[in-house]
Structure 1
């Protein structure tokens, strides 16, 4: 038995309870680099506990196909985590609110290829899921002491679809 969740387009408003959408929309906040670059400033602030540091990494991920069976979600209790596609890849973002230490009913979003996301610290989410691949992503997250990964295996999977 499974349950179905329809993935919707990613918007800043819909994603706000779970983190931030990293996207250059509208007029830049100001110009930099001798007027050649419009900067969309301070879109998200990485979170980390007192013992951690913010790290930049690159991850290469294989593609997933929809419909997707979601059987596991994870969260990072000591820091936020951001993913920004480096080659314009669209990807699936799955998040859930916390319900007594486990994920509640997930929400699924489809990015447009020009959007990245930052999960809030301790936000339940699915694994990195590009729709084409392999795809490279800039990863901004916490490094440091302590276990910063908690996984929860769902007793009944959800099926994530576009329709």
Structure 2
């Protein structure tokens, strides 16, 4: 997509638990571990994501391999998953871009853009509008924990005017 003059601009912000709480969870090993396990050789940071797979789904783990992008980044597409949460855990120590938007009467509102620090992952709550997986460096490998089920769990929306994310 070319960077058009008509795009609306949003600036990235750091990903913190507080700033992201309305959209999901930050998955990271920060602060002291909740428990020391494995004969004192491992710190457990416990229960970091509110996983939700609905009554007719189950948890599944997949690996996504996404092509890296760069800032400025322009987009029109966001999506949401009405029947389950979706967690993205990077398999490298590269940062990635996280785009989310509030729901406004069944449509996404103005988006926000977060940049992770190396080692941070996210869990998007059920029904949260979000952009596509957007690594900022190669490799774009992620473990993804999300709902596996027989019913459709994807709703897409395209903004009429593109949004441009800048650093």
Name the TM-score, length of structure 1 as normaliser: 0.97
> Which of 49, 58, 66 is 1:53 aligned to?
58
- SS of residue paired to 2:19: helix
Q: Hey, what does 1:5 align to over in structure 2?
A: 10
- SS of residue paired to 2:18: helix
Q: Does the 8 A contact of 2:25 with 2:49 survive in 1?
A: yes
Q: Does 1:145 align with 2:150?
A: yes
Q: Which runs of 4+ in 1 moved over 6 A?
A: none
Q: Hey, what does 2:88 align to over in structure 1?
A: 83
- SS of residue paired to 1:13: helix
Q: Does the 8 A contact of 2:92 with 2:139 survive in 1?
A: no
- Equivalent runs, 1:11-22 vs 2, <5 Å: 11-22=16-27
Q: Does 1:127 align with 2:127?
A: no
- SS of residue paired to 1:156: strand
> Which of 110, 115, 120 is 2:115 aligned to?
110
Can you give the 5+ residue segments of structure 1 that lack an aligned partner in the other structure?
none
Can you give the 5+ residue segments of structure 2 that lack an aligned partner in the other structure?
1-5
Q: Hey, what does 2:68 align to over in structure 1?
A: 63
Q: Give the Cα separation in 2 of the matches to 1:160 and 1:132.
A: 16
> Which of 130, 138, 141 is 1:136 aligned to?
141
Q: Does the 8 A contact of 2:92 with 2:119 survive in 1?
A: no
- SS of residue paired to 1:134: coil
How far 1:70 sits from its partner (Å)? 1.4
Q: Hey, what does 2:29 align to over in structure 1?
A: 24
Q: Does 1:157 align with 2:162?
A: yes
Q: Give the Cα separation in 2 of the matches to 1:70 and 1:14.
A: 22
How far 1:113 sits from its partner (Å)? 1.2
How far 1:134 sits from its partner (Å)? 3.0
